[in-house]
Structure 1
Amino acid sequence: MVLTPRGLRFMGRSLPCSIGRGGVSGRKREGDGATPRGIHRIVGMLYRPDRMARPTDWALPIGPCDLWSDDPRDPDYNKMVRAPHGFSHETLRRPDPLYDLVILTDWNWPISAPGRGSAIFLHRWRRPGYPTEGCVALAPEDLLWMARRITYQTQLIVP
């Protein structure tokens, strides 16, 4: 899949998407709101089993205590962790539907450089054109369509 000015190109389709409020950057830093330039592999998929059916056999459920560390001081920076967690983090089981389906990339993972940025996901958008904190966001129906067709190690190319 390739990010283009018209959207995310995948399997012959152009899917409208939103990217980070900081645009695309080759110098990604934690909190800059940028989507990192590069070739990123898909390394996982998470979903809310209380809100949707399992989209593919390799998707893992998001549990009530699942978090994602975004604190560069945390030894588990840019990794999935469990509550309670003493460092800054994102809650994966959100009250809104933003993370009902999350596709994980290998940005700054599995060995994380502190401060280089965390949690570059593909997830649903808040609304068309609304920027993310660095992730790639799509309409829920496009995200689900794509999730059912990607495989582990599919590449997300951000030129």
Structure 2
Amino acid sequence: MDIKVFADGTLAWGGRTMRCAVGRGGVATAKREGDGATPAGRFALRQVLYRPDRLAPPAVHLPARPLEAADGWCDDTADPAYNCAIRRPFAARHETLWREDGLYDLLAVIGHNDAPPVAGRGSAIFLHVAAPGYAPTEGCVALALPDLKDILAAWRPDWRLVVIPPGGQAAGGRRKGRCRP
């Protein structure tokens, strides 16, 4: 099954349409690090992470693990760990996954640019909790927490997230990632 994300901030799944947030740079077919765009394409979800101090373990059919305060994600194009999970402290530029704003209380890693990662093609692309008012993301897809829980509970490993650019069709996406879940 494909779950479709449209550039206008809607997601279609199982006969339902729901609001979502996409990147402040829109949806791009040529994703670049730091452009704020959500990459167009057809992607697997690699794993689910959650804040155990805020949420019970989610019922999912994907690898899942609780976040820890030291979890991060490398977004430094010059580092060998680019677009991979890391442990903080970490010398290279990275994103902290243990956030106070609740956006990463529940997230799924989208299999973008990870088979293998190519420096500069985009990192840390997640399906996560939406900010109030569905404010644009830095390139992720974000949903209300109840919608995100519903999708992740139903998700099967052979399903794909299809991000469609304005007026276009999404393509590609590889099955296997290089980074360890």
TM-score (norm 1): 0.95
Which residue is 1:119 aligned to?
124
| Count of residues in correspondence between the two structures | 159
Structure 1 position 56, deviation (Å): 2.2
Contact 1:42 1:151 in 2 (8 A): no
Tell me the distance in 2 between the aligned counterparts of 1:9 and 1:100: 23
What are the within-5 Å matches in structure 2 for residues 26-65 of structure 1?
26-57=29-60, 58-65=63-70
Which 4+ stretches in 1 moved above 4 angstroms? none
Q: 1:47-126 counterparts in 2 under 5 A?
A: 47-57=50-60, 58-126=63-131
The question of whether the paired residues in 1 share the 8 Å contact of 2:21 and 2:142 is answered with: yes
Q: Please give the per-residue CA displacement for 1:61-88, whole angstroms capped at 9, x wherever unaligned.
A: 1011110001101100000000110011
Partner of 2:138: 133
Q: Which runs of 5+ in 1 are unaligned?
A: none
The CA deviation at 1:123 is: 0.4
Q: Percent same amino acid among aligned pairs? A: 45
Aligned partner of 1:3 in structure 2 is 5
Show structure 2 runs of 5+ residues with no match: 165-181
| Equivalent AA in structure 2 for residue 10 of structure 1 | W
